[in-house]
């Protein structure tokens, strides 16, 4: 029988340990497929975050380094500068990238490091139990703001794409929204573009993916998609912020 679909070689045979319906699994697959399509699996080094994706090295068949919490852009910078013929990416949640790792991402972007960053914004700290993140929406209830995020006490959500797009260093910054077949296709295209830019030597690329955490939002995966479309996109509008 003719084979019409094959699991990408970019993934190992290890089953994903993510909660059912979590975006991490499908986003890993998109990154893995991209590496296979661009024929760069053998020369790619990924840097995993501290967060639910901490075990990314179990799932991806390229080389992976584990970085301390938030330090992935600094580790990716070091790898890329020492072995510039490698393709280097970091994969980071919002707690990792936009909280403890704020300095690292801002300075890697400002330096225009030739790396690709995949930023998973699910508005919470998934791994540690659903605490408030820098991207938590106003009035969103989390375990550390059980009555809802109150700007007078907790401040406002950080828009990473908008903030980094003010810098001269980055080459490509886009926010995507994988909640529909078209949204998934756009997300894959954006991830691919981030890697193509690095291959072309264009410098720093970041793709922010509006994502879910069905477990801590206490929603079904479908409800989380609705929340992304109806609530998250109002605060974090999808679009291309830089492409040069």
Ligand X SMILES: Cc1ncc(C[n+]2csc(CCOP(=O)(O)OP(=O)(O)O)c2C)c(N)n1
Residues found near ligand X in the complex (CB under 6 A): 49-53, 69, 93-96, 100, 120, 122, 124-128, 133, 213
Tell me the window of 19-27, 72-80, 146-154, 166-174 that interacts with ligand SF4 (CB under 6 A): 19-27
Q: DSSP string of the chain?
A: --------TTB-SPPP-SPTT-HHHHHHHHHHHHHHHTT-GGGEEEEE-SSGGGGHHHHBSSEEEE-STT-HHHHHHHHHHHSTTSEEEEEEEHHIIIIITHHHHHHHHHHT-S-EEEEEE-SEETTTTSEE-TTPPTT--BTTBTT---HHHH-----HHHHHTTSSS-SEEEEE--SSHHHHHHHHHHHHHHHHHHHTT---EEEEEE---HHHHT--HHHHHHHIIIIIHHHS--EEEEE-
Site for ligand SF4 in 182-241 (CB under 6 A): 213-216
Cα(162)–Cα(52) distance, rounded to whole angstroms? 25
The entry of ligand X, ligand SF4, none near residue 215 (CB within 5 to 8 angstroms by kind) is ligand SF4
Looking at the Cβ atoms of 57 and 172, the one nearer to ligand SF4 is 57
Binding of residue 97 to ligand SF4 (CB under 6 A): no
Looking at the Cβ atoms of 159 and 216, the one nearer to ligand SF4 is 216
CB-nearest residue to ligand X: 93
Whole-number minimum distance, CB 127 to ligand SF4, in Å? 6
Looking at the Cβ atoms of 18 and 57, the one nearer to ligand SF4 is 18
Binding of residue 54 to ligand SF4 (CB under 6 A): no
Binding of residue 29 to ligand SF4 (CB under 6 A): no
Looking at the Cβ atoms of 171 and 215, the one nearer to ligand SF4 is 215
Site for ligand SF4 in 104-163 (CB under 6 A): 122, 126-127
Judged by the rule CB under 6 A, the positions of this chain that interact with ligand SF4 are 18-19, 22, 24, 52, 122, 126-127, 213-216
């Amino acid at each position: 029988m003719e084979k019409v679909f094959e699991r990408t070689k970019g993934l190992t045979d290890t089953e994903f340990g993510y909660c059912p319906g979590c975006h991490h699994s499908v986003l890993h697959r998109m990154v893995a497929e991209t590496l296979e399509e661009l024929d760069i699996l053998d020369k790619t080094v990924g840097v995993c975050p501290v967060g639910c994706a901490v075990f990314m090295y179990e799932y991806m068949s390229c080389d992976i380094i584990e970085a301390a919490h938030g330090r992935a852009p600094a580790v990716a910078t070091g790898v890329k500068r020492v072995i510039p013929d490698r393709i280097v990416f970091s994969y980071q949640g919002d707690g990792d990238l936009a909280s403890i790792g704020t300095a690292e991402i801002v300075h890697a972007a400002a330096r225009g490091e030739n790396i690709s960053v995949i930023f998973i914004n699910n508005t919470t700290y998934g791994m540690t139990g659903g605490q408030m993140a820098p991207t938590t929406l106003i009035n969103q209830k989390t375990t550390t703001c059980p009555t809802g995020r109150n700007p007078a006490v907790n401040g406002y959500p950080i828009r990473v794409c908008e903030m980094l797009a003010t810098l001269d260093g980055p080459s490509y910054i886009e926010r995507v929204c994988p909640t529909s077949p078209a949204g998934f296709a756009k997300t894959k295209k954006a991830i691919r573009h981030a890697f193509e830019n690095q291959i072309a030597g264009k410098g720093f690329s970041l793709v922010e993916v509006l994502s879910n955490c069905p477990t801590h939002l206490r929603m079904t995966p479908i409800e989380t998609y609705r929340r992304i479309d109806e609530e998250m996109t109002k605060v974090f509008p999808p679009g291309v912020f830089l492409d040069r």
